[in-house]
Amino acid sequence: MLMKATAIANSNIALVKYWGKRNSDLILPYNSSISMTLDSLNTKTTVEFNKEFSDNEVIINGKTVEGEEKARVVHHLDLLQEFVTEKVFAKVKSESNFPKKAGLASSASGFAALTLAGIKALDQNLTTKELSILSRRGSGSASRSVLGGFVEWNKGSLPDGSDSHAIQIEKEDHWPELSMIVTIISTEEKKVSSRVGMSQTVKTSPFYPAWLDTIESDVEKMKKAISQKDFVLLGQIAENNALKMHATMHTTVPPIIYWESGSLTIMKEVITLREEGKECYFTMDAGPQVKILCLEDDLEVIKSRVNKLDVVRDIMICHPGKQTSLTDDHLF
Amino acid sequence: MLMKATAIANSNIALVKYWGKRNSDLILPYNSSISMTLDSLNTKTTVEFNKEFSDNEVIINGKTVEGEEKARVVHHLDLLQEFVTEKVFAKVKSESNFPKKAGLASSASGFAALTLAGIKALDQNLTTKELSILSRRGSGSASRSVLGGFVEWNKGSLPDGSDSHAIQIEKEDHWPELSMIVTIISTEEKKVSSRVGMSQTVKTSPFYPAWLDTIESDVEKMKKAISQKDFVLLGQIAENNALKMHATMHTTVPPIIYWESGSLTIMKEVITLREEGKECYFTMDAGPQVKILCLEDDLEVIKSRVNKLDVVRDIMICHPGKQTSLTDDHLF
């Protein structure tokens, strides 16, 4: 039996954000979230379990990782091996086509790929729901990357987290015109991880309860916008939701400011473009990159305008992408 | 009788901010605020009432103003003339040593000077409390510039606003070492006035009630910080309070973002300086300028670091300043 498998997972960007855990061990969120799985930002991961290995080995983007980063992967491998009787060491090799820990949801695609590859290497067959729950245990947003297109991560209410998983709202072919321009401003790893940041926000931001109070309405409107392909509604809710999340970050003590000066340059350009009649909206995550939402017809004009800004180091164009899947193209 | 008088008023920067009116006609705020009157940013205003004048004339920084800007001044002159039996036209000349409508509280010093000069030109004698209330009717923050040093604007509770005025916490000589570096990033007039902005925030920001809930505690801590000369406490509360106010602005629909990319460059530099052991904190108002709080001993080092940033066009150094006062040095 070959205890080796490879999976490819797409990253996803939330349109209604996830920020804050009600249970940090099981990674259960305070609020439901909605995301778009992206076709262009992906992670490929090969996992091999082998009795002959004398230790775990984790290689991410060509570098053997140690310390906390390795521990997090090994902890997840332990979780996957709860399905089998005997635990063995593993070799994991993972490659992303975009910078990690820079607000591009590398942990989402990373843990979704790790989960599917690991489970397959253990020769287990799980439902999508089970894969989403398992991926969630590695990184909350990974629960959403298991599915393609437009996805809701229902926060659930059960203490064991068995109802906290992703559900597909619409497939990727529902709205192929929906486009996201991911601007890369900085590839530096963020100073405050999402994990630490959200924990501090929950504890200290006076706006956190008010943020949670707005989620149900945002989720309902976003679902409606997606199913009816109402781009203006989708953009308005996504931009406002992102600004609300960042407002809870800014009012954390001490403040968490993921925005860089270049982020603001792009945000203002988006607002200017909109004033000029080009429908586009921004969203941002736990990092400085600005993601611009627009429709296919406006993509080239907006892209060329944004490309002229000095602060933009790179641009990636994304559309709704596929679910996490297996491949025979192993990395080792 | 010479119906002409001149007053000089200092601007003030709030350490606990004012944002939102419960009564926009009387300019009654939803929350109390605390400010420092600044010694270096001032407005000098000469008012002359004259039966011979056939119209009102308002000259601000050398330019005759018309439209809404003139109407606001004339409205205030009408208010002042409620103390006398006959209304006459006036000539007003006003000069500030800093850009107006750019988040530097030009309306605070402007209306405080206009009020005192106008009242004196009408040969009336009012108490400081009465002057503060009258100044408030022109611009909320002007109520604070009437007094020197450290000032609280008590929101009051009476419907007629007769208990909504400034009270001095400490005089300007209480803490002369407290310094403010006002960085000028842009002298462009803001797109969204404070008046319009705060009204939209009250209506649409889901965080506005939570913001108000934090004020009482901030006011108490700030008073303690001032009376005990506890700089770290003053800085922490001021910075957090400013971030909270801007969070309510960012989450207004549509968003109000007074920050420019250069603002963020300076805010991050302040955080970096602090990480390096230099105690300093930022505050911001309804404009892109960043004001840095520090103590005299650190002033030169921090000033020279900030001066090196490309985005900084000018720097003004301020300390606690005096109350609004009369002068015989008329502008015409």
Last residue of a domain, one of B110, B138, B172: B172
Q: What is the mean pLDDT of residues B84-109?
A: 88
Judgement on whether residues A150 and A59 belong to the same structural domain of the protein? yes
Question: Containing domain of residue B313, as a range?
Answer: 178-318
Q: What is the pLDDT of residues A198-207, one digit of tens each?
A: 999 999 999 9
Q: Is the pLDDT of residue B2 over 80?
A: no
Judgement on whether residues A87 and A120 belong to the same structural domain of the protein? yes
Judgement on whether residues B187 and B161 belong to the same structural domain of the protein? no
Contact yes or no for A311 and B261 at CB 8 A: yes
Q: Which of B183, B171, B37 is nearest to B112 (CA)?
A: B37
3-state secondary structure of B7: strand
Judgement on whether residues B188 and B119 belong to the same structural domain of the protein? no
Count, residues in chain A: 332
Q: Percent of chain A at pLDDT above 70?
A: 99
Q: What is the mean pLDDT of residues B14-21?
A: 98
Residue numbers of B between 188 and 207 with CB closer than 8 Å to A: 206-207
For residue A270, the chain B residues in CB contact (below 8 A) are none
Q: What is the pLDDT of residues A170-213, one digit of tens each?
A: 999 999 999 999 999 988 888 899 999 999 999 999 999 999 99
Q: What is the pLDDT of residue B99?
A: 77
Last residue of a domain, one of B150, B172, B194: B172
3-state secondary structure of B23: strand
Instruction: For chain B, state the CA radius of gyration.
Output: 19
Contact yes or no for A264 and B261 at CB 8 A: yes
Distance CA B268, CA B183 (A): 14
In a domain? residue B327 = no
Residue numbers of B between 19 and 38 with CB closer than 8 Å to A: none
Distance CA B73, CA B180 (A): 29
Question: Is some CB atom of chain B closer than 8 A to the CB atom of A209?
Answer: yes
Q: What is the pLDDT of residue B55?
A: 97
Q: What is the pLDDT of residue B1?
A: 64
In a domain? residue A327 = no
Judgement on whether residues A207 and A116 belong to the same structural domain of the protein? no
Q: What is the pLDDT of residue A1?
A: 64
Task: Give the gap in angstroms from C-alpha B183 to the nearest C-alpha of chain A.
Answer: 16
| Tokens matching residue B187 | 């002298």
Q: What is the DSSP letter of A305?
A: H
Cα–Cα distance list, B230 to B85, B234, B236 (Å): 50, 6, 10
Last residue of a domain, one of A138, A172, A206: A172
Q: Is the pLDDT of residue A126 over 70?
A: yes
